[in-house]
Amino acid sequence: MSPVKRASRKTARPAEVIIPDKLYFRIGEVASLCRLPAYVLRFWETEFPQLKPVKSSTGQRMYRKRDVEFVVRIKKLLYENGFTIAGARAHLREETKSERNQSALPFPVPPSVSVAHLRHELKEILHILSARH
C-alpha cells in the first residue's frame, strides 16, 4: 500500500469564504465563517482602524458584510501572503490611498437624442393626450 500524501500547510489551498447575504453578523458567526478565534477578531480591531464593527444596544459586536470582507482580506495578507501586522496595515492603508487617488471616470458620450428633441416629442405626446378630452 502506498502512503497517503498529506498537503503541507503552505501548498494547501484555503477554502474560500462564502459570506451570506445578511446585514449584520455576530462575532461568533464571523469567527466561524473565517475560521478564526473570536479573540483574533477583537485583536485585529485594535490593529486595523478600518475594522470597526458597530455595537448593539447590548454591547454585542455586529459586523457588516464589508467588515467580514475586510477580515477575509486581512487573513489572506497575514496567513497566505506572509505579511506582518504592521506590513498588512501599511499595505491596506496604501490600497485605500490609491483607491482615493484614482481619477474619476470621464463623462459618457452625449446621447444621439438631444434634450430639445425629447422635449419636442413629449410636447407632441401631451398634445395628443389633451386632444382626447
| Predicted TM-score (pTM) of this structure | 0.62
pLDDT at 122: 87
- Helices 27-34 + 38-47 axis angle, to 10: 100
What nine digits make up the cell of 102?
A: 484614482
The CATH number for 78's domain is 1.10.1660.10
In this structure, is residue 106 part of a structural domain? Answer: no
In this structure, is residue 70 part of a structural domain? Answer: yes
Structurally, the chain folds into a number of domains equal to 1
In this structure, is residue 125 part of a structural domain? Answer: no
In this structure, is residue 43 part of a structural domain? Answer: yes
The domain in which residue 62 lies consists of 24-99
pLDDT in tens, the chain (133 residues): 444 444 444 444 456 778 888 889 999 999 999 999 999 999 999 999 999 999 989 999 999 999 999 999 999 999 999 999 999 999 998 887 776 666 556 666 555 667 788 888 889 888 888 887 6
In this structure, is residue 49 part of a structural domain? Answer: yes
Long-range (24+ apart) CB contacts under 8 A made by 2-7 are none
In this structure, is residue 80 part of a structural domain? Answer: yes
